[in-house]
């Protein structure tokens, strides 16, 4: 029978493959979501939200590239599910049992099933809550597979700044999806000020409400409010990331600290680019990927070595 240490190495390799596939899945999902929102359409930016204005219940996703992305998304998602099933079975059949890896794999399976159920309502969905659930579920699988790959670590304690950063990142990711799903990306064209009228109405923050856009303009005042909330939370995330990076550096984990700092700088640059360059499609996709990588970087900073006595 395979010994547990050898089995653990194999499981971590499978988890790494799963992690890379899940990152691909989340990127493909972002591609389909943003294409559905109208990014990159022929008469950009006038066509922004055109599908929503045309119909509140359907979307035209007949474009060949979106169809290919959907096929690859499903193939990668199915492969991840198979890997999670294999990891779970191997973990619980190992002697001694690898309970931690088995439980994490079961969490991945549960999330994958939940996303599959949610996926029935995702194609052409106009409710922001559907997009938010998809993205947060995908990022939860990214974090879980990363935890399996890294493995347990003895003699450590939690870094509270890193834990706080992770919570802020989850909130910021959800709000960022909200900006996208409510077609608010072009509602603030200035930086750092919005550059347009802001309607401080909380009605747009109802995730079960279909966003309404004028027939002739890709901007709306309610969207400006959502956009500015996203920017304010981004400032809090930046402060928390800087503090976490400094503490991690002082703990001697220089690579983790530098990775977090570099991703923060890159994400800020992408955010400014999205505003000033009117939402270039490639930058929007990269913004989504870097958000996932920042979450993993925060997880890398979560463990602190216990002081030696």
In a domain, 131, yes or no: no
Q: Residues 67, 197: one domain?
A: no
Whether 116 and 45 map to the same domain: the answer is yes
Q: What's the token pair of residue 216?
A: 């002739």
For tokens 């109208």, name the residue: 38
Q: How many domains in the chain? A: 2
CA separation for the pair 252, 306 (Å, rounded): 12
**Cα 152 to the center of its chain, rounded Å:** 24
Walking along the chain (309 residues) 10 residues at a time, the average pLDDT comes out as: 69 94 94 81 73 52 76 93 94 87 95 86 70 93 94 73 95 92 82 76 70 61 81 95 94 93 96 90 94 96 63
In a domain, 132, yes or no: no
Rounded to 5 degrees, φ, ψ at 201 are: -110, 135
Domain shared by 289 and 177, yes or no: yes
- Same domain assignment for residues 173 and 307: yes
The residues near 84 (Cβ < 8 Å, ≥ 6 apart) are 18, 105, 108, 109, 112
Q: Is position 136 within any domain?
A: no
Sign of CA dihedral 83, 85, 89, 94: positive
Query: 170 vs 243, 264, 302, CA distance in Å?
Result: 17, 15, 15
Residue 96 lies in a domain: yes
Residues 55 and 107 reside in one and the same domain: yes
DSSP 307: P
Q: Which residues contact 72 (CB under 8 A, 6 or more apart)?
A: 24, 28
Q: Check: CB of residue 75 under 8 Å from CB of residue 57.
A: no
Say if residue 172 is in the same domain as residue 56.
no
Residue 161 sits in the same domain as residue 288: yes
Q: Are residues 81 and 207 in the same domain?
A: no
Residue 221 belongs to what domain range? 153-309
Which of 126, 142, 175 is the last residue before a domain boundary? 126
Going from the C-alpha of 284 to that of each of 66, 116, 125, 138, 258, the distances in angstroms are 16, 24, 20, 17, 23
Calculate the dihedral angle through the C-alpha atoms of 162, 179, 78, 263, rounding to the nearest 10 degrees. Answer: -40
Q: Tell me whether residue 148 is in a domain.
A: no
Distance of CA 157 to the CA centre of its chain: 26
Stated as kind and residue range, the H or E segment containing 135 is helix 128-150
Same domain, 175 and 116: no
State whether the Cα torsion 235-139-189-267 is positive or negative.
positive
Q: Is residue 144 part of a domain?
A: no
Q: Is residue 146 part of a domain?
A: no
* Residue 41, burial from CB neighbour count under 10 angstroms (0-12, 13-18, 19+): middle
Asked if residue 306 and residue 232 are part of one domain, the reply reads yes
Same domain, 119 and 170: no
Residue 191 DSSP SS3? coil
Give the span between the Cα atoms of 39 and 43, in whole angstroms. 10
- For tokens 């309607």, name the residue: 199
Strand partners, 304: 157
- Note the pLDDT of residue 309: 37
Are residues 119 and 229 located together in one domain of the fold?
Answer: no
Query: How many residues does the structure list for the chain?
Result: 309
Paired sense of beta strands 156-158 and 303-305, if any: antiparallel
Please report whether residue 139 resides in a domain: no
| DSSP-assigned beta bridge partners for residue 157 | 304
Give the list of residues 6+ apart from residue 307 with CB closer than 8 angstroms, or none.
none
Final residue of a structural domain among 126, 141, 173: 126
What is residue 283's predicted lDDT score, i.e. its pLDDT?
A: 94
């Amino acid at each position: 029978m395979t010994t547990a240490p050898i089995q653990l190495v194999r499981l971590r390799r499978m988890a790494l493959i799963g992690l890379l596939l899940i990152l691909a899945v989340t990127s493909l999902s972002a591609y389909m979501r943003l294409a559905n929102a109208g990014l990159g359409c022929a008469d950009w930016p006038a066509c922004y939200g055109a599908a929503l204005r045309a119909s509140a219940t359907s979307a035209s996703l007949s474009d060949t590239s979106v169809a290919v992305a959907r096929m690859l998304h499903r193939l990668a998602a199915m492969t991840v599910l198979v890997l999670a099933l294999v990891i779970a079975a191997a973990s619980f059949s190992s002697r001694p049992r690898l309970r931690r890896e088995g439980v994490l794999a079961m969490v991945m399976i549960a999330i994958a099933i939940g996303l599959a159920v949610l996926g029935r309502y995702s194609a052409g969905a106009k409710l922001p809550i559907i997009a938010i659930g998809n993205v947060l579920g995908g990022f939860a699988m990214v974090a879980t597979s990363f935890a399996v790959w890294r493995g347990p670590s003895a003699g450590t304690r939690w870094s509270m700044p890193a834990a706080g950063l992770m919570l802020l990142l989850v909130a910021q990711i959800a709000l960022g999806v909200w900006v996208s799903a409510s077609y608010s990306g072009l509602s603030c064209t200035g930086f750092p000020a919005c550059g347009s009228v802001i309607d401080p109405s909380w009605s747009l923050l109802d995730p079960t409400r279909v966003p309404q856009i004028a027939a002739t303009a890709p901007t709306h005042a309610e969207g400006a409010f959502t956009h500015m909330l996203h920017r304010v939370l981004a400032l809090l995330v930046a402060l928390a990331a800087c503090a976490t990076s400094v503490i991690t550096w002082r703990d001697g984990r220089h690579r983790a600290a530098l990775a977090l700092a570099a991703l923060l700088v890159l994400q800020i640059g992408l955010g400014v680019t999205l505003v000033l360059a009117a939402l270039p499609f490639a930058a929007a996709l990269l913004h989504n990927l870097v958000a996932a990588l920042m979450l993993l970087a925060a997880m890398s900073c979560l463990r602190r070595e216990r002081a030696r006595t």
